[in-house]
Structure 1
Amino acid sequence: MDPMNRQVIDTHGVSAQPHVPDQVHPRLPGGFNLPPFGIHQVLAVVIVCIALWAVGAIWLGLQAANQWVGSWQQDIHIHVYLSDDHGSAAGSADKLQEALQTISQVASVRRISAEEAAAWMQGWLHDADLETGELVKRLPLTFELSLTDENAPFLFDDIRDAASRFGARVNEDEVNLARAHYWLSKASWLVWFASLVLALAMALIISNTLRMTLLARADEIHLMRLLGAKEWFVRMPFILEGMVLGVAAGVAAWILLWPIDLFSREWLLTMQVELSLWLLLPALLIGGGVVGTVGALIATARVVSAETAA
């Protein structure tokens, strides 16, 4: 008879359990051993990775916009242009300057002559062959406004009203840039809200994935509870699995964000914007880990509570 299959007979003639080979290491299910990964876990990682990639791409765009607008708004100026036809009429230039200075949010008003503007344009268009005298004839009288609070209500409407009374016009592109910080602050709240909604969706995806694993191992969990295993001892491997799924999705999403940075780097450098993906790495790792942990807590709470009630 094969010694591996031979039963051991004790002194009372009762057969004992068969001998377990040395190379076999039996263990109870659960504990601190992670469950095996399967197709459901892989699909969960892919779906969560796509969601984290979308969140990361949105935050990269917000980061680029903040850098671009923030670099411009370190020294906020709005220019008002007064043509020679209107400026020569009864001292309209002086009256316009006084009207602009009466606006409370305007810190100062500086008059830029056509000669100064032509010299600046020559320096800006250094490759162009332009005559300074001809530029002086064509450029309007310019007023440069320094602002104390670009987000003040009705500020730009007051500037437009003061300019229109004397036939001047406001540089609307600069007005739009000055307002960009206000809209970016509003957009950041929307991004936070969208991130929280996606985080909840990702937690539910991981929760459903672990739920299927828990249902497949319901008998093992019940056996562990009958043998006296504590609730957290049973839940811990699945919580660790959810954390690993979230962190893995975060790493994958961070890697997939690099092509965006590589393809847009030269274009962003022309606007003096430099993205930093390394700043997003801790956020994606921590966010993925938290999402996975929350999903695992939801899944294990339902299964363990149902098993305990039974």
Structure 2
Amino acid sequence: MIPDKINPRLPGGFNLPPFGVHQILALIIVCISLWAVGTLWLGMQAASQWVGSWQDDIHIHVYIDGEKSDITKSLEQELASIAQVSSVRRISQEEAARWMQEWLTGGGLEQHELVKRLPVTFELSLTDEKSEFLFADIRDTARRFGAQINEDEVNLAQVHDLLSQVSYLAWFASLILAIAMALIISNTLRMTLLARADEIHLMRLLGAKEWFVRTPFILEGMLLGAGAGVLAWLLLWPVVLGVGGWMATMQVDLNAWVLLLPLLFGGGIVGTLGAVIATARVVSRETSV
């Protein structure tokens, strides 16, 4: 028998629990964490664009004076014998002169003048599996024949390898932050569950199913995570607009739109996971009066 002045508000069904201070704090913390994840992947996006489209087809060029034509064949063979070099293409001075003349349109240099000044070039294509000492081997081979390697291309190739390693670290950091966010939402919802333990117990006594009790809290966790994801995405725009001009000088065009769905659904998944953890101890057996 329930007294007349008592009006118990049952938390089950699809009526979401009210948002309070704890939920707002959780929303802010998760938003900041998702913003950090989004900023991290924006940085990865910028670095990938800066490296350029050549990153999937890396070439290293070796130059030798055209007057040393008697040893160019030997140099080509030595370069081709390096294990991680898939192919070596010889670029003649005439071919390089034609390309440079097109590039330096109006430069005032005739093709025959360029041919005299340009070295013989070898273009090395590399395999996907590069050893730690590959570039040192190429450099040493070139030096034995008095040739030079394009060090700028070596530096860019090493940046490409570094980006591959950093991407794994970015995924790992995102996973750790996701777990932390799920635990934050879980603790927030757990406090709500403890505060309303009497109401939940009453529902169970009245025969409410477990899913009926858990559903509003799971929906609340999902909304917390998804809302934090949208807010984090909105907070990325000041970053994009603030560095956009500087990035444009490096031919980098940041695109925050590609992060909208990952942050939205990622936040929703994290929130749902936290809610599932928080409600895992809801009594599952049927209770009768």
Which TM bucket (shorter chain)?
0.7 to 0.9
1:234 aligns with 2:234: no
Rate the CA distance shift 1:251–1:189 in 2: closer, same or farther, 3 A: same
1:168 aligned residue: 147
**Rg bigger for which structure?**
1
2:125 aligned residue: 147
Structure 1: 5+ residue stretches without partners: 1-16, 21-25
Given candidates 18, 24, 45, the residue that maps to 1:42 is: 24
1:20-169 to 2 correspondence within 5 Å?
Answer: 28-31=9-12, 32-73=14-55, 75-82=57-64, 84=65, 88=67, 91-103=70-82, 105-113=85-93, 116=96, 120=100, 123=103, 141-149=119-127, 151-153=129-131, 154-169=133-148
Rate the CA distance shift 1:131–1:89 in 2: closer, same or farther, 3 A: closer
Q: Percent identity?
A: 58
1:266 aligned residue: 245
More deviation in 166-175 or 65-74? Answer: 65-74
Report the CA distance between 1:38 and its aligned residue.
1.0
Ranked by relative contact order (alpha carbons within 8 Å, sequence separation 6 or more), the top structure is 2
Rate the CA distance shift 1:209–1:124 in 2: closer, same or farther, 3 A: farther
Q: Is the 8 A contact 1:114 1:139 kept in 2?
A: no
Deviations 1:60-92 (A, max 9, x none): 22122223335123553312233x5xx646823
Deviations 1:252-310 (A, max 9, x none): 0000111222223333334443332222111111111111111111111235479x8xx
Q: Is the 8 A contact 2:210 2:284 kept in 1?
A: no
Q: Normalising by structure 2, what TM-score?
A: 0.82
Rate the CA distance shift 1:175–1:120 in 2: closer, same or farther, 3 A: same
1:6-25 to 2 correspondence within 5 Å?
Answer: none
Structure-2 separation of matches of 1:124 and 1:250: 49
Structure 2: 5+ residue stretches without partners: none
Q: Normalising by structure 1, what TM-score?
A: 0.77
Aligned length: 280
Aligned residue identity for 2:25: L
1:279 aligned residue: 258
Q: CA RMSD in A?
A: 3.3
Deviations 1:122-159 (A, max 9, x none): 94597xx88779x9699662413140415432432332
Report the CA distance between 1:40 and its aligned residue.
0.9
Aligned residue identity for 2:45: Q
Report the CA distance between 1:59 and its aligned residue.
1.3
